[in-house]
Structure 1
Amino acid sequence: EPGDRVASLMPNRTELLVHYIACMKSGLVAMPLNYRYMAPEIDHALSVGGARILLAHTERRKDLAASKLAKALPLGQIDYDDEDSDENKHTRFQSLLEAAPTRAIKAPGPGQPAIIFFTSGSTGKPKGVCHSFETLGWIVASAIESFEMGPEDVMMAAGSASHVGGHHLSMITLATAGRVVMARTCDGDEILPLLREESPTKVWMLPSALYALVHDHKATREDFSSVRACFSGGDKVSEALERDFTQLTGIAIDEDYGMTEIGIPTVTPPAGFRIGSVGPLAPGYQASLRDAGGREVETDVAGRLWIKFPGNMVGYWNNPEATAETVLDGWLDTGDVMSADRDGYLWFHGRQKQIIIHDGSNICPQEVEAALLEHEAVAAAGVIGVHDPRHGERVRGYVTLDATVSPPAMQDLIRFARARVGCKAPEEIVVLDDMPLNATGKVDRVTLK
């Protein structure tokens, strides 16, 4: 029935976009689950969203077998496959497309729920963010302008369309009659052939994926010959990554800033490129930077970012308390700390809940991580605050190392960081085999803690 939530656990393929459009046309509420979710996370999302049915790819059947809720949904679970073989006992996705509607479909109204995304869970358990057809329309309309999309564009959004980045960039491309290139993963072994064969005009990738593409794969400038713009968001783009990527490709990385609850409020335009800035406000957005007392801060002074926009979320699904804590008089508290220069360009300093307080001074983890990443031996970096009875918190860094470079002594690495960020540098550094990432591919500081 219209309004029912249809959960999906689907890989990053065109079928996922087809699923979204089918839900929108029929008034159903799409509820994408991150494809990395394991059984407990799947159960949490299904419970929060009150899903009626789950559409899942068969390659996740082992994990779904451990789910307590998937098989108990009111309308059950549809397992589909994209392989056409005699041994395939599951529904083929193509057969779902061939099924004719059994009744007339009424177009949904603008205020009806359209989609429920789940937050990355960087500050707690994921919450269900509800967008209506109207709020989603505002997000798409604004992003079409800020990303300068047109029918000639081929967009490769190398991020999962189960999350807002991949979803929004795919939708603005389709809305302008462009072509979407779906990357199954962010791994260079998949990205490089797509760059060579599909000739995208615009590319969006997470900073961590861009770093791997530049340093771990044999990418050349020729691979990017069709690309006119490269966008990145979801985490801070370090100056080292910006420098290395530009040197390899001849293209600058245009940073954007987005959030599940508000869409993509800033994009750095190619004509106004400034290293380190996430750009000016996109069309339709209003911003307010406030101190701890709720007063607006001056130019170049860091404050907590509040956003007002017709495309702000309707609310957290079935969580009015969290909605009331986040939205006040139409302004949404992002929890992110930013400053604005005299030209209105915003500069990201970090999440308020991740700020490290050392001897009364605020330290942004991303700033320290960027300093560590400048070292040639550091492949990935994560920084957290650890309780200290004398100083409040001390700074601890975690790194993974580039296997092709001689490993540095940790004290040398600390001195390297101190030369760049002074007293904000880590007092200790731990080497990891792999950097933990959250469901959206960002450094998982909760796990590090």
Structure 2
Amino acid sequence: MKARPWISQYPETIPVAMNYEAKPVQSFLTEAAEKYPQKCAIDFMDKEITYQALYQSALKFANYLKSLGIKKGDRVAIMLPNSPQAVISYYGTLYAGGTVVQTNPLYTERELEYQMSDSGTKVIVTLDVLYPRVSKVKGKTSLKHIIVTAIKDYLPFPKNLIYPFVQKKQTGIVVQVKHEGENHRFKTIMETSDAKQPVIDFNFEEDIALLQYTGGTTGFPKGVMLSHKNLVANATMCDAWLYRCKKGEEVVLGLLPLFHVYGMTAVLILSVMQGYKMILLPKFDAETTLKVIHKKRPTVFPGAPTIYIGLINHPDVHKYDLSSVASCISGSASLPVEVQQKFEKLTGGKLVEGYGLTESSPVTHANFLWDKESVKGSIGVPWPDTDAQILSLETGEPLPSGEIGELAVKGPQVMRGYWNRPKDTEEVLKDGWLRTGDLGYMDENGYFYIVDRKKDMIIAGGFNIYPREIEEVLYEHEAIQEAVVAGVPDPYRGETVKAYIVLKKNASVTEKELEAYTRKYLAAYKIPRIYEFRDELPKTAVGKILRRTLVEEERQRLG
């Protein structure tokens, strides 16, 4: 109890330790189809697909993969936005015994070639508009087959007729792929393939369900090996945390990309495991999202801070009824307190900050949604069966509460290692403990706080400066919509603090006013010395602001 003070914080409704059903991820779709055959599993732009239809489609996909020679452990890449095809391909690959490689549809040819080569992927599922990009890298990789689908294939009438014209106008790309040779049409597969469930030998702990590539902010992206046990454990923990949610009844807003590990666990796996309806949106647009919430009444809304920021700052937000939203866990980046408070006021629901990383499937910590007040600025406490400690940067030994060091985590959701990278695996996994690379501390009650990435810490004039602390202050300013702080080269201090700012619509503020404002809340050495105002900030697909991209831009500018 002394070593794990967070245990005393747990409400009686959440177990400290859990049992995990030793069965593959795809088995939950089999069960959902048996229990809720006619229940809507997916709502995609008003097209509804039942659990029975989803199950049958996944089996057809699995059998087609097997006809292409896919064997247990072979890698299949899914390069799709949120869509029914992404869900079908994911579960179909697992039914065939394959390993899913989630691939960002925004990848350039260079990024795609690297991932396909590194993973040894044999089959890729992609959109018609992305086919030219994929076909160009095919010959340089282990890719043998390209399965092509189109957004219109799963749109209701008359959207399915209109969409091709919209797509042509937006992209200028029209692709017609014949179902022959090494090219395959998703629609033809669904029309001709068998829906019998393949029989696959299965090892809960050893078999890799997913190769999820890291963001590559510290060199080349690494393939994180996540087993069926890792994913089932994390989704089961997520269900325990959302203990007021009712099996078979909730509606989940699937806005987080399913190709991102948080969207995959909190939307894709959890929804199927619990028989929820998924409302899938292929991209984030604030107005579209507000309309969907107003009309479709989602109850669970996993997201990222930039998504919530976009919604609360939309000029017409008060025209929409958002009261259905009851529970939201924010991940991928720190959640400004100001954003949390405004979103909760708008919806009447609960928005709390959580924490995770690709290497842990991804969630390890979160604040409690109910029965306990959220601790502002904290990532919360470790999830069931999850241990955490703060390690000294000098000695590697555990530190007492209140002292800043590197966060390390341990639990059944922690990866098996990096794909074909034993040395990198040894550096971050020691006796089951995962070194996260994040700096933080634990308070006396067992709540954890992230002060920053180890690599993002700014050292100016000998002082250690944590960007997150400064960003929290900036977010509280009434004119600021988004802010990110980075260390940029400085001939005198080594590094100096620069703030990149996006202002709210029709708002204005000067550098001089911001300096006076920050001086009220921050020590002199933490105050930004440089401000840059931008229309937007570079972000990942899940909405995480790319601080390293800004730093790299600065270095190139300075030569």
TM-score, reference length from structure 2? 0.76
Shift of 1:361: 2.1
* Correspondent of 2:200 among 92, 106, 112: 106
Q: Which residue of 2 aligns with 1:267?
A: 366
CA RMSD in angstroms, aligned pairs only? 2.2
CA separation of 1:74 and 1:60: change in aligned 2, threshold 3 A: closer
Asked whether the equivalents of residues 188 and 217 of structure 1 are also in contact (C-alpha less than 8 Å), the reply is no
Matching residue of 2:452: 350
For the structure 1 residues 179 and 233, does the alpha-carbon distance in structure 2 shift closer, same or farther, using more than 3 Å as the test?
A: same
Q: Does 1:89 align with 2:214?
A: no
| Alpha-carbon distance between aligned partners in 2 of 1:310 and 1:443, rounded to the nearest angstrom | 29
> Quick one: which of 495, 498, 513 aligns to 1:412?
513
Whole-angstrom CA distance in 2 between matches of 1:38 and 1:418: 42
What is the CA-CA distance between 1:371 and the residue it aligns to? 1.6
Q: Relative to structure 1, is the Cα distance of residues 226 and 92 closer, same or farther in structure 2, using a 3 angstrom cutoff? A: farther
Amino acid paired to 2:483: A
- In structure 2, the partner of 1:235 is 333
Q: What's the offset of the Cα at 1:93?
A: 3.4
User: Is the partner of 1:336 in helix, strand or coil?
Assistant: strand
**Structure 1 position 145 matched with structure 2 position 240:** yes
The reply on whether 1:189 has 2:290 as its aligned counterpart is: no
Q: Which moved more, 1:85-94 or 1:365-374?
A: 85-94
CA 345–75 in structure 1, closer or farther in 2 if over 3 Å, else same = same
Deviation at 1:386, TM superposition (A): 1.5
14-23 or 148-157, which deviates more: 148-157
Specify the alignment match of 2:229 in structure 1.
Answer: 134
**Aligned partner of residue 202 in structure 1, secondary structure:** coil
Deviations 1:376-414, CA, capped at 9 Å, x for gaps: 222221211122343231111111222311x21112212
Distance 2:72 2:336 in 1: 45
Change (3 A) 1:58 1:363: same
- Residue aligning to 2:423: 321
1:163 aligns with 2:260: yes
Mapped contact 1:37–1:439 kept (Cα < 8 A):
no
CA contact (8 A) 1:163 1:440 kept: yes
Q: Residue 205 of structure 1 corresponds to which residue in structure 2?
A: 303
Note the C-alpha offset of 1:49.
1.0
| Ranges in structure 1 where 5+ consecutive residues have no aligned partner | none
| Partner Cα separation in structure 2 for residue 61 and residue 10 of structure 1 | 11
- Change in CA separation of 1:288 and 1:402 when aligned onto 2, cut-off 3 Å: same
Q: Secondary structure at the residue paired with 2:488?
A: strand
Match of 2:522 in 1: 421
**Which of 329, 332, 345 in structure 1 is aligned with 2:434?**
332
1:12 and 2:82 correspond: yes
2:381 partner SS: coil
Equivalent residue, structure 2, for 1:27: 97
- The answer (yes or no) to whether the contact 1:234–1:257 under 8 Å persists in 2 is yes
Equivalent of residue 278 in structure 2, options 158, 180, 185: 180
CA 1:243–1:57: 2 relative to 1, 3 Å:
same
CA distance in 1, matches of 2:306, 2:502: 12
- Relative distance call for 1:295 and 1:158 in structure 2 (3 A) is same
Q: Which whole-Å CA distance do the structure 1 matches of 2:241 and 2:197 have between them?
A: 39
Partner Cα separation in structure 2 for residue 96 and residue 249 of structure 1: 42
User: 1:269 is matched by which residue type in structure 2?
Assistant: F
Q: TM-score, normalised by structure 1?
A: 0.93
Query: Hey, what's the Cα distance between the residues in 2 that align with 1:401 and 1:359?
Result: 30
Range with bigger deviation, 212-221 or 301-310: 212-221
Tell me how far apart the structure 2 counterparts of residues 222 and 74 of structure 1 sit (CA, whole Å): 46
Query: For 1:102 and 1:159, how far apart are their aligned partners in 2?
Result: 31
**Secondary structure in 1 aligned to 2:176?**
coil
Structure exhibiting the larger radius of gyration computed from Cα positions: 2
Contact 2:287 2:314 (8 Å CA) reproduced:
no
Where 1:43 maps in the other structure, the secondary structure is helix
Contact 2:305 2:543 (8 Å CA) reproduced: no
Are residues 342 and 350 of structure 1, via their aligned partners in 2, closer, same or farther at CA, if it must alter by over 3 Å?
A: same
Contact 1:120–1:439 under 8 Å retained in 2: no
Give CA deviations for 1:34-78 in whole Å, capped at 9, x if unaligned: 22222221112112211111111112234435x434775442212
Q: 1:189 deviation in Å?
A: 2.3
The one-letter code matched in structure 2 to 1:118 is Y
* Cα distance between partner residues in 2 of 1:432 and 1:108: 51
Listed as ranges, the gaps of 5+ residues in structure 2 are 1-70, 154-159, 165-174, 178-183, 552-559
SS for the counterpart of 1:108 is coil
Q: Matched residues in 2 for 1:103 and 1:180: separation?
A: 24
| SS of residue in 2 equivalent to 1:349 | strand
Distance 1:101 1:202 in 2: 32
CA contact (8 A) 1:399 1:430 kept: yes
Distance 1:95 1:331, change over 3 A: same
For the Cα contact (< 8 Å) 2:113–2:140, is it kept in 1? no
Partner deviation per Cα, 1:111-150 (whole Å, 9 max, x = no partner): 1111111112233332111111122222222222123343
CA distance in 2, matches of 1:36, 1:338: 32
Contact 2:89 2:125 in 1 (8 A): no
Q: How far apart in 2 are the matches of 1:69 and 1:94?
A: 22
Which of 379, 382, 402 does residue 281 from structure 1 map onto?
A: 382
SS in 1 for 2:226: strand
2:302 alignment partner, SS class:
strand
Cα displacement (A) at 1:280: 1.1
| Post-superposition CA distance 1:301-356 (Å, at most 9, x none) | 22211111122111111111111111111111001112112221111211111111
Match of 1:342, SS state, is coil
Q: Say if 1:186 and 1:288 are closer, same or farther in 2 by CA, change over 3 A.
A: same
User: 1:178, 1:83 → 2: CA distance?
Assistant: 24
